[in-house]
């Protein structure tokens, strides 16, 4: 680590940690809903697809409004937007305790969550961190985005324990309240980017003509754009479909609910290693090969669950593999976008990929639930996941050498 990188960490070590906790709140609904599926289905007689529709609503809202939220962050600063988002998100998740079993009521509750989630998009956290970290920005981003790993580790166990001891209604209220009590004070004290200092900083204007990168038209004409778009969408559609339903997949195989939640928490633990490890690999090896390897790994996990999903060892290895990949996919896509299209229009190209990722998140859990409702098991969705992962991996492997970035050879 260089002297300037050390200086950045000495001065602002607390910011990526606070941002990580904020980002974990953004996926409270994604990683927190799994333990609630069985008790809700039992009480209301709902299908898995009905239970998953809320994540679809939130994902679609994120895909549609990512650019307006980015503009809001530029106008108000990430601190204000993030603080509002934490309050809205934890409160709206707690409101799920008021579900009546009426489909309209369920859709309204998830529409509130979708609105709250808009205030917590990755742009909020990375904007603040980028304003403080230049030399060590990659590692700072990795720490920030590991907030999703914290969520995937904590929420399944916390939710399962609360449901088992207090019932699902109290569990919704408690999860929202506990996370607000943990995150909001830390955010209030430590989450402050350069734009949140209460003073205007004089920044020299940047001549965009000197920034290396493709124009939007040039990028849209390249096969790389569509390969990355396809890989992004297919990966999150299947990976998030499996992860959101991971606890039900294990319990359907005969695993005790608390044991299933404990195994599912391995997704979060290993996603931390996956995110940080992938960042190191991207700096040392051709990124398209790193990405292809990351995207092919879930095939092994699905095969283990498909062949003997009741085996605790297979379940644990599968959870670890999914964690390694889910902790890395955003990093891989963002890195490849910067290398293949440059930074001139990075926001446009990365925004397109975020949209594809969001659509995958929106429809993946719904697709997994629909597959279960149709066939009575998740085996068909596991097979679909293996096929889609293979296509995504091949798409990244075929990208070839990028135009921007000498370190990415081959």
Query: How confident is residue 30, by pLDDT bands cut at 50, 70 and 90?
Result: confident
H helix or E strand, kind and range, residue 367: helix 346-375
What does the pLDDT read at residue 265? Answer: 82
Lookup result for tokens 């009741």 = 310
Q: What is the pLDDT of residues 271-299, one digit of tens each?
A: 888 888 887 777 678 888 988 999 999 99
Q: Residue 4 CB: number of other CB atoms within 10 A?
A: 11
Architecture of domain 211-399: Up-down Bundle (1.20)
Torsion of CA 278, 186, 14, 143, to 10 degrees: 0
Burial class (CB in 10 A: 0-12, 13-18, 19+), 129: buried
Judged against a pLDDT cut of 60, whether residue 410 lies above it is answered with no
Q: What is the pLDDT of residues 246-280, one digit of tens each?
A: 888 898 888 888 888 888 888 878 888 888 888 77
How far is 397 from 405, CA to CA, in rounded Å?
A: 17
Residue 136's φ and ψ, nearest 5 degrees, are -100, 30
Q: State mean pLDDT over 114-123.
A: 88
Lookup result for tokens 């209220």 = 173
Q: State mean pLDDT over 171-178.
A: 96
Distances (CA, A) of 395 to 75, 86, 327, 398: 37, 37, 19, 5
What does the pLDDT read at residue 330? Answer: 76
Direct distance between the N- and C-terminal alpha carbons of the chain, in angstroms, rounded to an integer = 26
Rg of the chain over Cα atoms, rounded to whole angstroms, equals: 21
Instruction: Tell me the pLDDT of the chain averaged across its residues.
Output: 84
DSSP class of residue 213 equals B
Do the domains 211-399 and 13-194 match in fold?
Answer: yes
Judged against a pLDDT cut of 50, whether residue 82 lies above it is answered with yes
Beta strands in 272-340 (DSSP E): none
Judged against a pLDDT cut of 90, whether residue 190 lies above it is answered with yes
Lowest mean pLDDT across 37-41, 135-139, 248-252, 309-313: 135-139
What does the pLDDT read at residue 343? Answer: 58
How far is 169 from 180, CA to CA, in rounded Å?
A: 17
How far is 27 from 40, CA to CA, in rounded Å?
A: 20
What does the pLDDT read at residue 3? Answer: 61
Judged against a pLDDT cut of 60, whether residue 409 lies above it is answered with no
What does the pLDDT read at residue 122? Answer: 78
How far is 38 from 48, CA to CA, in rounded Å?
A: 9
How far is 20 from 16, CA to CA, in rounded Å?
A: 6
Q: What is the pLDDT of residues 344-394, one digit of tens each?
A: 765 677 667 877 887 887 788 888 888 888 888 888 999 999 999 999 999
What does the pLDDT read at residue 327? Answer: 67
Query: How confident is residue 402, by pLDDT bands cut at 50, 70 and 90?
Result: confident
User: For residue 386, what are the contacts with CB-CB under 8 A and spacing of at least 6?
Assistant: 298, 299, 302, 303, 306
What does the pLDDT read at residue 131? Answer: 75
Q: State mean pLDDT over 13-37.
A: 91
What does the pLDDT read at residue 283? Answer: 67
213 forms beta bridges with 342
Query: How confident is residue 19, by pLDDT bands cut at 50, 70 and 90?
Result: very high
Judged against a pLDDT cut of 60, whether residue 210 lies above it is answered with no
| Segments making up each domain of the chain, as ranges | 13-194, 211-399
DSSP class of residue 101 equals S
How far is 198 from 188, CA to CA, in rounded Å?
A: 14
Q: What percent of the chain is predicted at pLDDT more than 90?
A: 35
13-194 is a CATH 1.20.1250.20 domain: yes
């Amino acid at each position: 680590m260089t002297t300037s990188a050390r200086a950045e960490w000495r001065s602002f070590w607390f910011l990526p940690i606070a941002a990580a906790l904020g980002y974990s709140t953004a996926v409270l609904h994604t990683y927190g809903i799994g333990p609630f599926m069985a008790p809700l289905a039992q009480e209301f007689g709902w299908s898995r697809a009905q239970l998953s529709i809320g994540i679809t609503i939130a994902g679609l809202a994120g895909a549609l409004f990512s650019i307006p939220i980015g503009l809001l962050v530029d106008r108000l600063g990430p601190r204000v937007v993030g603080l509002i988002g934490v309050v809205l998100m934890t409160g709206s998740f707690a409101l799920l305790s008021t579900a009546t079993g009426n489909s309209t009521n369920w859709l309204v509750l998830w529409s509130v969550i979708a609105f709250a989630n808009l205030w917590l998009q990755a742009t909020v956290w990375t904007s603040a961190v980028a304003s403080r970290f230049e030399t060590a920005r990659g590692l700072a981003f990795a720490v920030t985005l590991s907030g999703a790993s914290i969520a995937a580790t904590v929420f399944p166990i916390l939710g399962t324990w609360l449901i088992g001891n207090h019932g699902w209604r109290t569990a919704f209220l408690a999860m929202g309240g506990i996370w607000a009590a943990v995150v909001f004070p830390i955010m209030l004290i430590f989450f402050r980017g350069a734009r949140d200092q209460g003073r205007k900083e004089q920044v020299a204007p940047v001549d965009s003509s000197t920034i290396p990168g493709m124009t939007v038209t040039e990028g849209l004409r390249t096969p790389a754009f569509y390969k990355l778009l396809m890989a992004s969408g297919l990966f999150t559609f299947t990976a998030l479909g499996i992860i959101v339903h991971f606890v039900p997949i294990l319990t359907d195989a005969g695993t005790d609910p608390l044991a299933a939640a404990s195994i599912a928490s391995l997704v979060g633990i290993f996603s931390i290693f996956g995110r940080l490890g992938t960042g190191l690999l991207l700096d040392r090896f051709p990124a398209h090969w790193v990405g292809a390897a990351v995207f092919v790994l879930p095939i092994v996990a699905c095969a283990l669950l498909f062949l003997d999903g009741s085996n605790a060892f297979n379940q644990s290895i599968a959870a670890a593999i999914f964690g390694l990949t889910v902790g890395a996919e955003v990093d891989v896509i963002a890195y490849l976008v910067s290398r293949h299209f440059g930074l001139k229009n990075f926001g446009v190209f990365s925004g397109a990929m975020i949209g594809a990722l969001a659509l995958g998140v929106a429809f993946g859990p719904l697709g997994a639930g629909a597959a279960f409702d149709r066939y009575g098991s998740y085996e068909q969705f596991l097979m679909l996941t293996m096929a889609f992962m293979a296509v995504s991996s091949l798409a990244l492997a075929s990208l070839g050498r990028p135009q921007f970035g000498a370190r990415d050879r081959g």
